[in-house]
Structure 1
């Protein structure tokens, strides 16, 4: 389906404006925008089937759907929940694994630098609490929980829980690496440092995106 002449296609203009206004996980955003594009194209096809020229049919379809600004609030709420689930899933999967690694490093061999490792254990507890909140969020926003309204502040709470977990990961990693280096135990140092750095990057990036979504005016009802 193509527009006549050099004028812009009303459907593509509409979709472009919608894409620019929405924020959230790229896969969920692409799926949502594609569903709207498909609905518009189906409406256009119905109108052109009645003999209406394409450009008039496209403008009519856009009017029937409502402006992009009118669609954004509902779409953004859906994407904000999707981003909260993405952040929660990332934290819920990485935090327990890292806590297990830190525990193994903590209990490996004699430890003259126990204060640093004790700090890491306490920070692991902070990350564990964030992981529990993440798991609860997945349950609350999953298929069984969709019958209930999502708490208004939940996405922002998940964002800050992810941020807290990522910071705890980073500081705990520094503590473990320092203790391992002082003890001359390089294997756990490299393991803990590499795993925590990678996990910190994933959780921090997802939490940052979640904070952005949660603060958008259209993100909450």
Structure 2
């Protein structure tokens, strides 16, 4: 039975905690099945063999378990996107409106671009939120596509956000940067933005790498 679990472990890639739990459930199930055979009078070695035979071929079952791991990875990334962007957008809006930062430094063009940035952030969040429940209904192949889509959405929205933010910083005069640099709330919001940006980048990258890697390995095996 140990060899079967090890074989399955080598075929699966994804969130370590969920992966360990899946393998633990497999091991417990095999052990329970073997013990049931032993209680019926079957020798231990034969009981273990029968339990493994009942479980099936790891090569055939791995895609099913991998789909669960891919779904978990995709949901995590989608949830982060769905929460991060609205939080950042609302936080920045609150900063401009109530903290007195940036008053009188933004041009009409910058305001328009900032509004479009807000819309794109909310759009990415809504798209991610819509994808989350789909992971529970899709087939294994579609779960991989959805996970890859979430990873792509994360990077696309991230590049758009960072690129637009850089443009806005360059479009405004230096007084805006000085105002933010002397405001504690602004510095906290910037720190939150940087942390969230890094988190989205890592999550999107991990999702793309893990799902692409698992798909390639399953295809080879």
The answer to whether the 8 Å contact 1:127/1:168 transfers is no
Structure 2: segments with no counterpart, 5+ residues:
none
Alpha-carbon offset, residue 204 of structure 1: 1.9
Gaps of 5+ in 1: 1-10
Count of residues in correspondence between the two structures? 205
Which residue pairs with 1:102 in the alignment? 92
Task: Answer whether contact 1:166 1:204 (CA < 8 A) is retained.
Answer: yes
**Normalized against structure 2, the TM-score is what?**
0.76
Match of 2:120 in 1: 126
Aligned counterpart for 2:177 among listed residues 170, 177, 182:
182
Alpha carbons of 1:17 and 1:170: their partners in 2 closer, same or farther (altered >3 Å)?
farther
Decide which structure has greater helix share.
2
Q: Could you report, residue by residue, the CA deviation over 1:128-162 in whole angstroms, capped at 9, with x for unpaired residues?
A: 221111111123335xxx3x658823222111112
| Deviation digits for residues 66-87 of structure 1 (CA, Å, limit 9, x no counterpart) | 2322211111112212221111
Match of 1:205 in 2: 202
Q: Which has the higher contact order (CA 8 A, sep 6+)?
A: 2
Contact 1:158 1:207 in 2 (8 A): yes
Alpha-carbon distance between aligned partners in 2 of 1:151 and 1:64, rounded to the nearest angstrom = 25
Give the TM-score of the pair, scaled to structure 1: 0.76
Does the 8 Å CA contact 1:176/1:189 hold for their aligned counterparts?
Answer: no
Q: 1:169 Cα deviation (Å)? A: 4.5
How far 1:172 sits from its partner (Å)? 5.3
Aligned positions of 1:104-183 closer than 5 A: 104-107=94-97, 108-114=101-107, 119-141=113-135, 146=137, 152=142, 153-171=145-163, 182-183=177-178
